Amino acid sequence: MTNKKGFDRTESAEINEKTYNELIQVRREKLKDLKQTGVNPFGQRFEFTHRAKQLLDNYEDYEDKEVSLAGRMMAKRGHGKAGFANVQDGTAQVQIYSRLNDLGEEQYEIYKGLDIGDIVGVRGTLFKTRMGEVTVAVKELTLLAKSLRPLPEKWHGLKDVDLRYRQRYLDLIVNPEVKDTFVIRSKIVRAIRNFLVHRGFLEVETPMMHPIAGGAAARPFTTHHNALDMDLFLRIAPELYLKRLIVGGFDKVFEINRNFRNEGISTRHNPEFTMLELYQAYADYNDMMDITEGLIASVAEDVFGEANINYQGQEINLNSPWERLPMLEAVKRYSGLDFEVLTNADTAGNAVKKLGLEVEKSDGWGDILNKVFEEKVEPNLIQPTFITDYPVEISPLAKKKEDQPQLTYRFELFINGWEMANAFSELNDPLDQRERFSRQLDKRKSGDDEAHMMDEDYITALEYGMPPTGGLGIGVDRLIMLLTDSPSIRDVILFPLMRPRV
């Protein structure tokens, strides 16, 4: 502010300053004072000997020894010529005790001027107070970064969910359980990787920008490449690229990465979400059930030490084996309708209308079956359940069953009523695949903009020959919600999509 040459910047800064509220202005004044006394409010690298959690957990090892640590000041209690404060680093909070006698006039003045939120480095000896709290008696204090804005309230934390998502860094600073959730998220993803790598799967990365959005029924985001003057889609699934790799001779591959779907937002849907997909040559959907069961139970064991979990008050037992229930049987069990008798779209449609469900003219037998399933069966599938043998109309990439060609070797896994995984014996007949894509194109023409596009390049790959293959997709965010007992997908995504603030 004293720089005469920077006239414009100085002036606008001063105008801005007037609009800041008092709390921010006070901190800016302190910043100015610090600079004037020759203290750099935004310091350099600080070498510390310990992290807070180490000191708390192993107090006996460090008692009366000199330690140093760095972190953010989260609370401050003054006592005249001495004071306590809490410093929070990446591991925990530890108390520090600063006395005028130990620090000297100059440093103690700096300490007194510190605000909650400031980032400091301290060096001193470790002791326990009368009340038994592990504390660093500070000998030397270094300001590493001045904080110019007040933190949210110390006792209630930050509750406004809008602010929590938009300013996740504040959420992480003041709500410790949020940090825990994301640490667990990282552990879960690592456990998945370990599980698969140990079983010989190769992690690969396939394109996120697709000329044709395929591998799922969903509306894509569109974008544009300028140099090629080409429209592209953000991927809705990596499936077709991973199967090209199976054609190419990678027998076991997986990818954990983002998919993008241009659809509604809810507590279980974010436009970008993390998907695990894996493919294993010479395997089928039964093998995929074994892998799914093993993977989820083992991840829970790895991260929590047990496979019994509680989600929002609901006990869920992830120990294998899980029920494997053909869709036709599931529908019979929960709706009373027998689709082995209702063998065409008309009779099935009439029966379903009696249940109060709406049927479109374009719906085939399989679409109608699926509607009944979603409406009557899904909400009942709380404990892990594999629903097997999906109708061919809604499974354009799955191999038909040899004995029941209206069905496919496909399953979905349901836990807590949610679809958690989707898998099938992959369709490797290029002629059948072309036929399926054509049916999807018909659906597109009749207004279904989630139906599959024709992918000639993928069919060409199949024409070179793809071994019989089992493929599996698991919604990683939902798995994490379940395992961390989080009610909203936004609680397990660091920066969920939000409308920008005006």
Partner RNA sequence: GGGCCAUUAGCUCAGUUGGCUAGAGCACCUGACUUUUAAUCAGGGUGUCCCAGGUUCGAGUCCUGGAUGGCUCACCA
Q: 438-497: which residues touch RNA (CB under 7 A)?
A: 450, 475, 477-478, 487-490
Q: Does 418 bind RNA (CB under 7 A)?
A: yes
Q: Are 398 and 409 in contact (CB under 8 A)?
A: yes
Please pick, from the candidates 127, 182, 304, 334, the single residue that binds RNA as defined by CB under 7 A: 127
Minimum Å distance from CB 343 to RNA? 24
Q: Does 23 bind RNA (CB under 7 A)?
A: yes
Q: Comparing C-alpha atoms, which of 179, 189, 235 is closest to residue 212?
A: 235
Please pick, from the candidates 3, 21, 36, 44, the single residue that binds RNA as defined by CB under 7 A: 21
Q: Comparing C-alpha atoms, which of 67, 83, 65 is closest to residue 75?
A: 83
Please pick, from the candidates 9, 32, 65, 159, the single residue that binds RNA as defined by CB under 7 A: 159
Minimum Å distance from CB 19 to RNA? 9
Q: Does 100 bind RNA (CB under 7 A)?
A: yes
CA dist 228 and 170 (Å) reads 42
Please pick, from the candidates 68, 88, 270, 395, the single residue that binds RNA as defined by CB under 7 A: 270
DSSP-assigned letter for residue 336: -
Q: Comparing C-alpha atoms, which of 420, 475, 445, 440 is closest to residue 261?
A: 475
Interface with RNA in residues 292-351 (CB under 7 A): none
CA dist 469 and 135 (Å) reads 60
Q: Does 261 bind RNA (CB under 7 A)?
A: yes
Q: Write the single-letter amino acid at 39.
A: V
Ranges assigned E (strand) in 229-344: 230-234, 252-260, 272-281, 308-311, 314-317, 323-326
Measured from the CB atom, the residue of 57 and 251 that comes closer to RNA is 57
Site string for RNA, 60-99 (x = CB under 7 A): ---------------xxxxxxxx-x-x--------x-x-x
Q: Comparing C-alpha atoms, which of 325, 309, 295 is closest to residue 474?
A: 295
Vertex 261, ends 266 and 225: CA angle to 5°? 140
Give the binding range for RNA (CB under 7 A) out of 185-193, 331-339, 412-420, 460-468. 412-420
Please pick, from the candidates 22, 47, 105, 403, the single residue that binds RNA as defined by CB under 7 A: 22
Q: Does 390 bind RNA (CB under 7 A)?
A: no
DSSP string, 418-436: EEEEEEEEBP--HHHHHHH
Sheet holding 209-210, edge to edge: 209-210, 230-234, 222-225
Phi, psi of 203 (to 5 degrees): -80, 130
Measured from the CB atom, the residue of 389 and 477 that comes closer to RNA is 477
Please pick, from the candidates 52, 173, 213, 216, the single residue that binds RNA as defined by CB under 7 A: 216
Q: Are 390 and 410 in contact (CB under 8 A)?
A: yes
DSSP string, 174-186: H-HHHHHHHHHHH
Minimum Å distance from CB 501 to RNA? 7
Minimum Å distance from CB 467 to RNA? 25
**Placement of tokens 């998919």 in the chain:** 259
Please pick, from the candidates 54, 107, 280, 422, the single residue that binds RNA as defined by CB under 7 A: 422
Measured from the CB atom, the residue of 122 and 247 that comes closer to RNA is 122
Please pick, from the candidates 28, 53, 187, 268, the single residue that binds RNA as defined by CB under 7 A: 268
Query: Which tokens in the block code for residue 372?
Result: 């009944």
Measured from the CB atom, the residue of 277 and 281 that comes closer to RNA is 277
Minimum Å distance from CB 146 to RNA? 12
CA dist 76 and 262 (Å) reads 47
| Count of alpha carbons within 13 angstroms of residue 275, beta-carbon side | 29
Measured from the CB atom, the residue of 175 and 320 that comes closer to RNA is 175
Measured from the CB atom, the residue of 74 and 202 that comes closer to RNA is 74
Q: Comparing C-alpha atoms, which of 154, 160, 193, 192 is closest to residue 174?
A: 154
Q: Does 115 bind RNA (CB under 7 A)?
A: yes
Q: Does 218 bind RNA (CB under 7 A)?
A: yes
Measured from the CB atom, the residue of 270 and 469 that comes closer to RNA is 270
Chain-centre distance of CA 173, in angstroms?
19
Q: Does 357 bind RNA (CB under 7 A)?
A: no
Q: Are 496 and 270 in contact (CB under 8 A)?
A: yes
Q: Comparing C-alpha atoms, which of 273, 249, 274, 277 is closest to residue 262?
A: 273
Please pick, from the candidates 111, 165, 195, 241, the single residue that binds RNA as defined by CB under 7 A: 165
Q: Does 157 bind RNA (CB under 7 A)?
A: yes
Minimum Å distance from CB 331 to RNA? 17
Minimum Å distance from CB 116 to RNA? 5
Number of residues that bind RNA (CB under 7 A): 75
Phi, psi of 174 (to 5 degrees): -105, -15
Give the binding range for RNA (CB under 7 A) out of 222-230, 289-297, 403-411, 419-427. 419-427
Please pick, from the candidates 56, 92, 163, 189, the single residue that binds RNA as defined by CB under 7 A: 163
